[in-house]
Amino acid sequence: MSEWVALIIAMASACAVVVAVVVLRQRRPIEESTDETPDVIEYITMMIGVVYAIVLGLAIAGVWEARGAAQDDLFREAQSLREVSDRAVVYPVEFRDQVRADVDAYVTYVVNTEWDYMKENGAITEKGDQLLQKLQNDVATRAPASDLESQSYQPIMDRISQASEARNSRGQNAGPTMPGVVWLGLIGGAVVTVGMLFALQIRRTPRELTLALCFSVLIAFLLFMIWDFDNPFSRSVSVTTQPFEDLFPSLNLGG
């Protein structure tokens, strides 16, 4: 099922629940007066709304920050490998080609194979670790043959280390980042917040019902947005392999 279809179903379900509850309450005999709502109920409803709005804001900020960090890590990984490939120009042709072949093999594997695995399983692969380790071993075990190679050795090793760190961060961010207890609070808070609408004794007037429906739809949409951003490398607004495709155009990764 498409995620946007799921969003429409969620919002429609929220509307249906509100309408159903309002209709059922109107059919039941109500003994208390509906002309006025006690001040204490209005105060409690307002406080619950404020607290839940703060929780929602923190959750949205958290998942957005996690997505931004995942995007930065991916760009750092691609940029570091691009610099390794460029700096290899100081080596003799045979070894330079070997280093660039190692980089290309790793990038191609990440984009064409590991990325789909990571989206489905929420983890990176051992094969990717091996390919990056091979690049590091090839550079580390070759003794510099000239002053220029000696000067380039440490910067190249630093870029490989940066790529490895970015890869590890990508592996840690793969999959949902929001703890289950937070989701329990978000969903429970949504139920309580929407439920407090009925404590205000709303009736089937077009104005009151419209406002209740809009509020319920807004809550459903915000929860969907948090869920969508919760997994940085999957779902509809995920981080893509665009940095690799932009920095390694010769590999035709987008094709």
Model confidence at 2, pLDDT cuts 50, 70, 90, reads: low
Helices 180-199 and 39-87: angle between axes, nearest 10 degrees: 150
- pLDDT, tens digit (0-9, with 9 covering 90-100), for 50-106: 899 999 999 999 899 988 999 999 999 999 999 999 999 999 999 999 999 999 999
Q: Of 78-92, 195-209, 237-251, which gets the smallest average pLDDT?
A: 195-209
pLDDT at 107 over 70: yes
Looking at residue 111, what DSSP letter applies? I
Residue 148, CB half-sphere, CA atoms under 13 Å: how many? Answer: 6
Taking alpha carbons only, the member of 143, 142, 144, 118 closest to residue 129 is 118
Amino acid at 150: S
Name the average pLDDT for the chain: 84
93 CB-contact burial (10 Å; exposed 0-12 / middle 13-18 / buried 19+)? exposed
pTM recorded for the entire structure: 0.80
Whole-angstrom distance, CA of residue 123 vs CA of residue 57: 28
pLDDT band at 11 (very low <50, low <70, confident <90, very high): confident
Indicate the pLDDT class of residue 179, thresholds 50, 70 and 90. confident
For residue 99, give the nearest of 63, 56, 140, 66 by alpha carbon: 140
Cα dihedral angle (117, 121, 122, 128), rounded to 10 degrees? -40
Burial (CB count <10 Å: 0-12, 13-18, 19+), residue 110: buried
**In the chain, which ranges are E strands?**
none
